[in-house]
Chains A and B, each alone.
Chain A
Amino acid sequence: MGSHQPPQPWFRVGTLLSEKRSGVLMICSFLLPILIYSFVAYCPIFWGHAYELTIAARPDDKVEFGATYTQGFSMEEDEFTRFQKAIRDDNEKLTALYQQGDEADFGMSPRAARSHNKRLLREFEPVLSRNGLFDISVKEEMETKPYYQLLYGAAYDTWGEIATGKEQLQKGSLSEENREIIKKNWALLSSVSETYDSGKLYSKPIYKLIPQGNKQVARASWFPAPHQIIRRGWEDLTGKSELGDLNVPTRYLQSLKIVFFGFFVACLIGLPLALLAGTFSFFSRLIEPFTDFFRYMPAPAFSTILVVIFDIYDQPKIALVVLGTLPHLILMVANTTRMVDQPLLDAAQTLGARRGTLISKVIVPGILPHLYNDLRILLGWAWTWLVIAELIGAKSGLTEIIDTQGRRFHFDHVYPVILLIGITGFVTDQILASFRTVLFPYAASEKKGILSFAFAMVHKLFKSKKATS
């Protein structure tokens, strides 16, 4: 074999690389952006440090701390210190109030105090589940009320055990300071009942747990780490996250419906017009100038009008995809139609073909391979309208996740959805591209896509296996 052949250079003007090298580069083309993203996400030098809350709390000072911080929120270091201090201050005030004796005004009704206390028990849930003392997955099978009874009970019991020194939690899950607070709380709570009973809950406020957090790299919220994206994406896809009943698969189908219907309707209207315009100069002059003008008008600008005409559900969204795709479809397909080989038309005419036959038997089959490519490109175009379309009227589909989660800065929910859209468009296109060689064996093939490359690889592997066996 070519053992003494000199190695081919990687860079050579006008020369195609070998299939193997092309494949390697194709993989690199995907790997490179992923690697860059991962590098930035995981490299601490780009980010400061922050505390990811393992125990959250709510300070009384609603002006300084207007937002509600829950477990998992990532807080900058000085903010975290301030946060802790605010809670300690609250507890000191409470101590002072208790010292005043019976005349003390706690600033809340017994009812409000009870719900305050319940919340503190609720907020202990992350500690419980991390220590295997409570299984939140039972929530899926239970009614809400009994579930919370169970949770309060577990937290109540655990506090009792902590206070009496019976329970040993995993190291680091509870600070000494918080153990002391729990002991104080238990003294208050157990004065009414040793076990949790919603009717017999201590009705003055108890002490708050001091916020705890794990120190870690503080990525910007719009830069979630790849593992977070993958984990969240999986949870969303399998319906395990707080996105709730309208999960990603359902919304995905809604979005697919918008895109494909929009594209289908655009084809239904556009293809006949384009075919006429491409075939007869008369229709070309009649249709194309306005279409050419119309495509510069931004389709989303019509969204309010679309709502007036088509209501607020799927129709205005489909209509927007149609509006956005149709002008391009007409112009592109008309052009393609014009590109049909003139000699083929001449030949057909000398064989007796007339207008109708020319269109149906020469022009249409003649442009089919090119038309197929055009439609692939236009389907990609239809995808680009999806997000704007789904914002019209009643928001729907994947866009609602992107929009709603985006405005809450939950980008770990947003990115998987964006990726899902990207992958769908890409894979659809690649599948269609690989079908083209099957459908139109006579048409010149184009450069290999990643899918057909993968097919070829599998095929090769299969063949080599056969050869060895």
Chain B
Amino acid sequence: MSQIIDLPDYKEQSPEVASYFKDLKNRSKVLEVNRAGRVFASPKGEIEALKDVSLDVYQREFMTVIGQSGCGKSTLIRILAGLETTTSGNVLLDGEQITGPGSDRGMVFQGYTLFPWLTVKKNVMFGLQVSGKAMAECEKDALQWIDLVGLKKFANAYPHELSGGMKQRVAIARALANRPRILLMDEPFGALDAQTRAQMQAYLLEIWHHIDVTILFITHDLEEAVYLSDRILVLGANPGHVQEIIEVPVERPRRPEQFITAEFLATKKRLENLIHVSAPEHIDTSKMLGMG
């Protein structure tokens, strides 16, 4: 007979965790989103993708956004990147309103977005060169970043010669090479197989540990969210809105063994409930146009 254990309340925090969060919230705010909304025009009328989304991301925080497909996760992150605009509210980076895409916000996409005609090294150098740095310096920097993601041997390889996981590591190196204030990651491991995915998660935590960078991470994988994040923003659908921001009560540094701790499971359970409960009876696909 299997035994069902009682899970603690996910809001209960150990003293270490509590002081961690206290410290976190004392840091400066890298990103502030104030009542951001986004309405898409379509032939069938207006579709509200996001409504009154507000959130703060602190210096060197690892925040995850989770939600069912179509809830506007990608719209939100594209707004943060400057690739999309808000129709109401505003977004501040270090207190200044953003007006478009910029190298201060690096981004890693779900699909592979390495430039196929450039080698790994040239890909990583891309942003540095655009910023006008001297060639030699770009190259030196790039090699350091490539080394950091463990691809020194592949510096002169072309993207089509790399595996999916390697490609995403290059993408991370490329984004970080610009020394962005925040790294936006849109389901970056979504296309990878389970094993590679676990490896990549470990890599990411490792990099985050070494580099002073704030991360906003989108996923639909609940375990991934709990495992990686300080806080998890649960986005409800139709229109996309903030359901809850959960402070993950799992201690850092994280290890794969923590997947079966009570706090971990309690948080995961809470996420399941939130996402399951808010699942609609039926999905009106027409309303999901433009979100995603």
- Check whether chain A touches chain B (CB < 8 angstroms): yes
Interface flag for B208 (CB, 8 Å): no
Q: Quick check: is B127 within 8 A (CB to CB) of the other chain?
A: yes
Q: Which of A341, A348, A350, A442 has the largest count of B CB atoms less than 10 A from its CB?
A: A350
Contact with A along B63-106 (1 / 0, CB 8 A): 00000000000000010011100000000000000001111011
Residues of A within 8 A of B159 (CB): 442
CB neighbours (8 Å) of A440 from chain B are 117
- The smallest C-beta distance from B118 to any residue of chain A, in angstroms, reads 8
Q: A352 with B103: in contact, given A344-B115, A366-B117 (CB under 8 Å)? A: yes
- CB-nearest residue of chain B relative to A368? B117
Binds B, one of A29-37, A143-151, A276-284, A357-365: A357-365
Looking at chain A, what size class is its interface with the partner chain?
20 to 34
A442 touches B130 (CB 8 A): no
Q: Are B127 and A365 in contact (CB under 8 A)?
A: no
Chain A nearest CB: distance from B105 CB in Å? 6
Quick check: A352 and B102 within 8 Å, CB to CB?
yes
A350 x B106 contact (CB < 8 A) = yes
A346 and B130 within 8 A (CB)? no
Whether a CB of chain B sits under 8 angstroms from the CB of A16 is no
**Chain B: minimal CB distance from A389 (Å):** 36
Judging by beta carbons under 8 Å apart, are B158 and A442 in contact?
yes
Alpha-carbon separation in the docked complex, A366 to B101 (Å): 20
| Bound CA span A434–B113, Å | 27
B160 is contacted by which of A346, A349, A362, A442 (Cβ under 8 Å)?
A442
**Chain A residues, CB < 8 A from B105:** 350
B116 at the binding interface (Cβ < 8 Å): yes
A7 within 8 A of B: no
A residues within 8 A CB of B184?
350
What CA separation (Å) do A344 and B174 show in the bound complex?
13
Residues in B neighbouring A366, C-beta threshold 8 A = 115, 117
Is A347's CB within 8 Å of the partner chain B? yes
Nearest Cβ distance between residue B115 and chain A, in whole angstroms? 6
Task: Check B130–A352 contact: CB distance below 8 A.
Answer: yes
Interface string of A359-386 (1 = CB under 8 A from B): 0011001101000000000000000000
In the bound complex, how far is the Cα of B116 from the Cα of A365, in angstroms? 9
CB–CB A441/B126 < 8 A: no
B287 CB → nearest A CB, Å? 23
Interface positions, chain B 141-182, Cβ under 8 Å from A, are 158-160, 171, 174-175, 178
* Given A343-B109, A343-B111, A442-B160, residue A348 in contact with residue B116 (CB < 8 A): no
In the complex, are the beta carbons of A352 and B160 less than 8 A apart? no
A362–B113 touching, CB < 8 Å:
no
Q: In the assembled complex, which residues on chain A have CB atoms less than 8 Å from the CB atom of B216?
A: none
Contact call B116/A347, Cβ cutoff below 8 A: no
Are A353 and B130 CB-contacts (below 8 A) given A441-B158, A442-B158, A442-B160?
yes
> Count of A-B contacts with CB under 8 A?
70
The answer to whether B83 touches A351 (Cβ under 8 A) is no
Q: Which residues of B contact A368 (CB under 8 A)?
A: 117
Residues of B within 8 A of A441 (CB): 158, 160
Which residues of B have CB within 8 Å of A352? 102-103, 127, 130-131, 178
Residues in A neighbouring B131, C-beta threshold 8 A: 352
Take A350-B106, A350-B107, A351-B126 as given contacts and tell me if A362 and B175 are in contact as well, using a CB distance cutoff of 8 Å: no
- Closest approach, in angstroms, between the C-beta of A349 and any C-beta of chain B? 4
- Are A347 and B130 in contact (CB-based, < 8 A)? no
> 3 smallest A-B Cβ distances: which pairs?
A352-B103, A351-B127, A347-B113
| The residue from B101, B117, B118 contacting A350, defined by CB atoms under 8 A apart | B101
**B113 to chain A: closest residue by CB:** A347
Q: Which residues of A are found within 8 Å of B107, using beta-carbon distances?
A: 346-347, 350
Chain A residues engaging chain B, CB cutoff 8 angstroms:
341, 343-344, 346-353, 357, 361-362, 365-366, 368, 440-443
- CB proximity of B141 to chain A, nearest CB, Å: 13
Name B129's closest neighbour in chain A (CB-CB).
Answer: A361
- B83 lies within 8 A of A350 (CB): yes
- For A351, give its contact among B82, B100, B116, B130 (CB under 8 Å): B130
Q: How far is the CA of A346 from the CA of B100 in the complex (A)?
A: 11
Q: How many angstroms from the CA of A208 to the CA of B177 in the assembled complex?
A: 98
Cross-chain contact A344 with B113 (CB below 8 angstroms): yes
For B103, the chain A residues whose CB sits under 8 A away are 350-352
Q: CA of A361 to CA of B116 in the docked complex: distance in angstroms?
A: 12
Are the C-beta atoms of B111 and A351 separated by less than 8 Å?
no
Contact of A362 among B101, B109, B115, B174 (CB under 8 A): B115
Residues of B close to A361: CB separation below 8 A? 126, 130
A360 to chain B, nearest CB (A): 11
How far, in whole Å, are A350 and B109 apart by their CA atoms in the complex?
11
Q: Which residues of B contact A341 (CB under 8 A)?
A: 113
Q: Tell which of A350, A353, A442 touches B116, judged by Cβ atoms closer than 8 Å.
A: A442
Report the nearest B residue to A349, measured CB to CB.
Answer: B101
| Nearest residue, chain B, Cβ from A357 | B130
Q: Which residues of A contact B101 (CB under 8 A)?
A: 346, 349-350
Point out the residues of chain A lying under 8 angstroms from B175, CB to CB. 350-351
Q: Which residues on A sit within 8 Å (CB–CB) of B158?
A: 441-442
With contacts A357-B130, A441-B158 known, is A351 near B117, CB below 8 A? no
Selected contact of B174 from candidates A351, A442, A443, CB within 8 Å: A351
Q: Do the beta carbons of B83 and A349 come within 8 Å of each other?
A: yes
Chain A nearest CB, measured from B278 CB (Å): 29
- Listed by A's residue number, 27 A-B pairs whose Cβ atoms lie within 8 Å are A344-B115, A346-B78, A346-B81, A347-B171, A348-B115, A349-B82, A350-B81, A350-B83, A350-B101, A350-B106, A350-B107, A350-B175, A350-B184, A351-B103, A351-B174, A352-B102, A352-B131, A361-B126, A361-B130, A365-B115, A366-B117, A441-B160, A442-B116, A442-B117, A442-B158, A442-B160, A443-B116
In the assembled complex, the CB of A337 is this many whole angstroms from the nearest CB of chain B, namely 15
Q: How far is the CB of A436 from chain B (nearest CB, A)?
A: 13
Other contacts beyond A341-B113, A346-B113: 7, CB < 8 A: A343-B113, A347-B107, A348-B115, A351-B130, A353-B126, A441-B158, A442-B116
A343 contact set on B, CB distance < 8 A: 109, 111, 113
Q: Which of B105-141 contact A (CB under 8 A)?
A: 105-107, 109, 111, 113, 115-118, 126-127, 130-131
Chain A residue at smallest Cβ distance from B124: A351
CA distance A414 to B117 in the complex (A): 46
Measured CB to CB, the closest approach of chain B to A369, in angstroms, equals: 8
Q: Which residues of A contact B115 (CB under 8 A)?
A: 344, 348, 362, 365-366
Q: Which residues of A contact B109 (CB under 8 A)?
A: 343, 346-347
Out of A351, A357, A362, A442, name the residue touching B178 (CB < 8 Å). Answer: A351
The CA-CA distance from A341 to B112 in the complex, in Å, is 11
